[in-house]
Amino acid sequence: MVRPPEQGAPSPRSLRGLDWFSFFLADIQTGFGPFVAVYLTAQAWTQVDIGLILTAGGLIALAGQMPGGALVDAVRSARIAIGLAVVAICVSALAIALWPIFPVVFGARALHAAASCVLGPAIAAVSLGLVGYAALGERIGRNARFASIGGGVAAATMGACGHFFSTQAVFILTAIMVAPALLALTQIRSSDLALRVSYDQEPGSARPTVGVRGLLCNRRLLIFAGCLVMFQLANAAMLPVMGSMLTVRSGEWAATVVAACMVVPQFIVAGFAPWIGRQAELRGRRPLLLVCFVALALRAGSFAFVTNPYLIVALQVFDGVSAVILGIVFPLVVADITRDTGRFNLALGIVGSAVGIGASLSTTLAGYMLDHFGSAVTFCSMAGVAAAGMLLVLLVMPETRPETPPKA
């Protein structure tokens, strides 16, 4: 898409603001990853209860994806929506840290999930509003790079806090990181955005009328959503399960090892995100999705037999490969499918619902299998699901890349 001349190029201040917001948002979200399982395990929670709490977040995320996308389409300012969502996440972190009882943690996870439903499409909308359709892949890669660096720094810092202080300190630090995130958000100028315009249309085209039913009947979108269900079913619970196992085996070192497991993928994402964005344009989306599932299957299968903490950390390279590919291909595929429909954010919400389905089922099933069958069977099952997802991409998923890439 060519940006309308009256909009001009986005200011460097706005672009830097989005860079740093991506960095600090990753810091905030890192605290709600495997550290939740480590913290609750240290509080003598059972694996079933931990799985229920994680599933609650997944179900709220599932229910909120489409409303979240619709809300971003409807609000006057996506920046305000982002700011309110970040504040809600701050409240969630403090609640988990101060009152680790089931009703409070349940509510905090629900609030965090609801806020995240708004953050995803809002950040995508801001990115698309700043650079336009043609430069979206490069902008996503840049977002991913800053987010990965932020996530790596946060994981290392939170791991140190968990080791030298307590796992409770992780969530206190998460709440503190909200302040610089909001400061970075203020650097994005409203004048540089065109959030009331359908970004994926050519200027001057008629406003589209494609609705939810039309998107739900889109075969390519449904197949891609199915692929993401399989991915999340195999992936979402993998590191939390490993975190729980490390807590049992390694005690006070668990938080440190989990932090290292989270840092390694961030290096992969930071180093290769722009290159993956270019490969998505040169080679297409489908080959990269295949590599993504292969890496996921290898990681899960290896976790079933590896107990050495150093090897576990090394195997997280596969997680980095999957993360960098999916993080870039996800919005690109949705943008490909919804071009000229004006429903980019709504489609993101629909596919995000598929992510929520897979994630919510993953944590519950993994918690049950871990309690009843052990870690080896649990990880082998995840590897089998990943292999099934790879076959789905190979046999059914079509290529969505435009035959002629749009010019900037």
Q: Tell me the three state secondary structure of residue 201.
A: coil
pLDDT band at 5 (very low <50, low <70, confident <90, very high): very low
Q: Quick one: average pLDDT of 219-223?
A: 91
At residue 199, the pLDDT reads 42
> Is residue 205 predicted with pLDDT exceeding 60?
no
pLDDT band at 393 (very low <50, low <70, confident <90, very high): very high
Structure tokens at 324: 């960098």
At residue 395, the pLDDT reads 92
40 vs 237, which has greater pLDDT? 237
Place of tokens 């290896």: 302
> Is residue 58 predicted with pLDDT exceeding 80?
no
> Is residue 43 predicted with pLDDT exceeding 60?
yes
Domain presence at residue 69: yes
**Which CATH number is 368's domain given?**
1.20.1250.20
At residue 198, the pLDDT reads 42
The torsion of the CA quartet 119, 316, 225, 339, rounded to 10 degrees, works out to 60
At residue 252, the pLDDT reads 63
Domain presence at residue 334: yes
Q: Can you tell me the distance from the alpha carbon of 64 to that of 129, in angstroms, rounded to the nearest whole number?
A: 23
128-132, 294-298, 312-316, 351-355: range with lowest mean pLDDT = 128-132
Mean pLDDT across the chain, nearest whole number?
80
At residue 339, the pLDDT reads 77
Measured from the Cβ of residue 27, the count of other Cβ atoms closer than 10 Å reads 25
> Is residue 63 predicted with pLDDT exceeding 50?
yes
Domain presence at residue 204: no
Number of domains in the chain: 1
> Is residue 1 predicted with pLDDT exceeding 50?
no
What is the maximal distance between C-alpha atoms in the chain? Answer: 62
At residue 250, the pLDDT reads 64
What one-letter code names the amino acid at 262? M
Domain presence at residue 218: yes
Residues 378-387 pLDDT 10s: 999 999 999 9
pLDDT band at 394 (very low <50, low <70, confident <90, very high): very high
> Is residue 254 predicted with pLDDT exceeding 80?
no
How much of the chain exceeds pLDDT 70, in percent? 86
Q: Can you tell me the distance from the alpha carbon of 63 to that of 323, in angstroms, rounded to the nearest whole number?
A: 24
Q: Can you tell me the distance from the alpha carbon of 328 to that of 283, in angstroms, rounded to the nearest whole number?
A: 14
At residue 98, the pLDDT reads 82
Q: Quick one: average pLDDT of 62-70?
A: 77
pLDDT band at 388 (very low <50, low <70, confident <90, very high): very high
Domain presence at residue 408: no
Residues 131-184 pLDDT 10s: 777 677 778 888 888 887 887 787 777 777 766 777 777 778 888 888 888 998
Residues 307-345 pLDDT 10s: 888 888 899 999 999 989 998 899 889 888 887 776 777
Domain presence at residue 203: no
Domain presence at residue 8: no
At residue 342, the pLDDT reads 67
At residue 356, the pLDDT reads 76
194 vs 176, which has greater pLDDT? 176
Place of tokens 């439903």: 117
> Is residue 196 predicted with pLDDT exceeding 50?
no
Burial of 307 (0-12, 13-18, 19+ CB in 10 A): exposed
At residue 150, the pLDDT reads 82
> Which residue range forms the structural domain that includes residue 287?
13-197+211-395
C-alpha dist (Å) from residue 291 to 287, 353, 408: 7, 23, 28
> Is residue 292 predicted with pLDDT exceeding 90?
yes
At residue 44, the pLDDT reads 67
Q: Can you tell me the distance from the alpha carbon of 149 to that of 347, in angstroms, rounded to the nearest whole number?
A: 28
Domain presence at residue 403: no
Q: Can you tell me the distance from the alpha carbon of 266 to that of 320, in angstroms, rounded to the nearest whole number?
A: 6
Residues 6+ apart with CB under 8 A from 404: none
